[in-house]
Amino acid sequence: MASTSIHNGEGSGQLRPQSSNPSTHHEHGTIEPGEIAVGVVIGRASEYFDFFVYALASVLVFPAVFFPNEPKLEGTLYAFVIFAFAFLARPIGTTIFMAIQKHYGREVKLTLALFMLGFSTAGIALLPTYEHIGVWAIILLSLLRVGQGVALGGAWDGLPSLLAMNAPPEKRGWYAAMGQLGAPLGFVIAASLFAYMLATLTTADFLEWGWRFPFYVAFAINVVALFSRLRLVSAPEYAKLLDERELEPAGVVELATTQGRNIIIGALAALASYALFHLVTVFPLSWIKLYSLREASDFLVIQIWGGLIMAVGILVSGVVADRFGRRNTLGSMALLIAILSAFVPALMNGGESGQNTFILIGFALLGLSYGQAAGAVTANFKTRYRYTGAALTSDLAWLVGAGFAPLVALGLSAHFGMAYVSFYLLSGAVGSLAALSLNRALEARDD
């Protein structure tokens, strides 16, 4: 079933446009997978930058400016609760905006979604703090965070699925990895901005106005990304290719009733990656901020190096996956993540050298795993369901694997010890291995 739905027997998926104008794309008017990959990276990098600006602010800013009367731990936990709202809202956003696309088209949907994302991000940048308007600041922050989640769900453009279906069979792992580079790129830029602000501003200035600057930058990047992605998906060549591949919205109720098994397996298959995602980015920064004498700016520098290592790992995963198979790669990385989970307490409690080791190794494994996490089993979807199925699978993977990871990890480590973070990460790895094994067994039965 999987092998027949990925490629549809159409070679590399190049398509000649209706127009004979050679300046539209290439001289011969064909669309290469590399062009689609660039579009995916641009779109995902802007989304991840926005994502990580909020994530880092949840540790470095929000406990102090929105929960100033709470102890530091409780303030951070409350900030992580609001952080999770976006992941709860993403599937709702996907459902709403799929309906908008059905009635008004792809360009209208993407414009509304990215406008909503920009409005929510700019709203946070301009938001009065608890000191000025009291509990209303927390309420407005929560609403704007929900707005970000709904918008991110609506920003799905189908390009990752199009890339998977048009990549040459022998390079599907490579092109899948290319599409994932937006994550480390967005993190490195966001972390660099915050590290610079922390290193150059006094604490008072940073908490008063400095923290708002990254949100303004995120808003500006969203505007640029909006026009870039609109130019891409509205081009006749891309529109025709999306239509030819049947990458159009399907009814969510129909999808859930006919493809529910594939959605669940797809969401769980990459659980190890998504769990590790926040356990090397957001959680350790919060733990260092609360329980260590290390400067947050210095720790961010280590994480920036980790982000660069992650980018290399993503590219390596493409080579490995094309040689050994995407699902074999994902399963092997889940096993290595399970092994890493056993060393979390020793490394995080092992001083700066131990913490740095955990961050760098964690980012390396994250890159190798996350590089193949998107769409590893979405080929199971029938073609007409793949567009919506891939979007909802991604939403649920983020919700189950990553949405509550900082909250759970910090709560467990603070109240029960770091060993419980090991069990949490291990459960994600076991979930991935179980889902991949079940998927393989079901494919064998169906064959």
Q: How far apart are CA 113 and CA 122, in angstroms?
A: 14
| Per-residue model confidence (pLDDT) at position 13 | 39
Among residues 212, 159, 218, the alpha carbon closest in space to that of 186 is found at 218
Reduced to 3 states (helix: H, G, I; strand: E, B; else coil), residue 167 is coil
Q: Count of CB atoms within 10 A of residue 142's CB?
A: 14
What is the reported pTM? 0.86
Q: How far apart are CA 155 and CA 161, in angstroms?
A: 14
| Per-residue model confidence (pLDDT) at position 282 | 95
| Per-residue model confidence (pLDDT) at position 413 | 94
Domains annotated on the chain, with CATH: 34-235+245-440 (1.20.1250.20)
- Low-confidence residues of the chain: pLDDT under 70: 1-34, 158-159, 161-162, 164-166, 233-235, 237-239, 241-247, 375-379, 441-447
Question: Are the C-beta atoms of residues 439 and 269 closer than 8 Å to each other?
Answer: yes
Q: How far apart are CA 177 and CA 179, in angstroms?
A: 5
**Residues contacting residue 75 through CB under 8 Å, at least 6 positions apart:** 62, 63, 64, 66, 67, 68
- List the alpha helices (DSSP H) in 155-211: 159-166, 172-178, 182-200, 203-205
Among residues 62, 50, 60, the alpha carbon closest in space to that of 197 is found at 60
Residue type, 58: S
Determine which helix (DSSP H) or strand (DSSP E) holds 57, and give its type and residue range: helix 33-60
Among residues 48, 435, 389, 349, the alpha carbon closest in space to that of 222 is found at 48
| Per-residue model confidence (pLDDT) at position 445 | 56
Q: How far apart are CA 158 and CA 115, in angstroms?
A: 18
Residue 178: CA count within 13 A, CB half-sphere: 21
Determine which helix (DSSP H) or strand (DSSP E) holds 181, and give its type and residue range: none
Among residues 157, 141, 46, 43, the alpha carbon closest in space to that of 97 is found at 157
Q: How far apart are CA 132 and CA 92, in angstroms?
A: 32
| Per-residue model confidence (pLDDT) at position 11 | 36
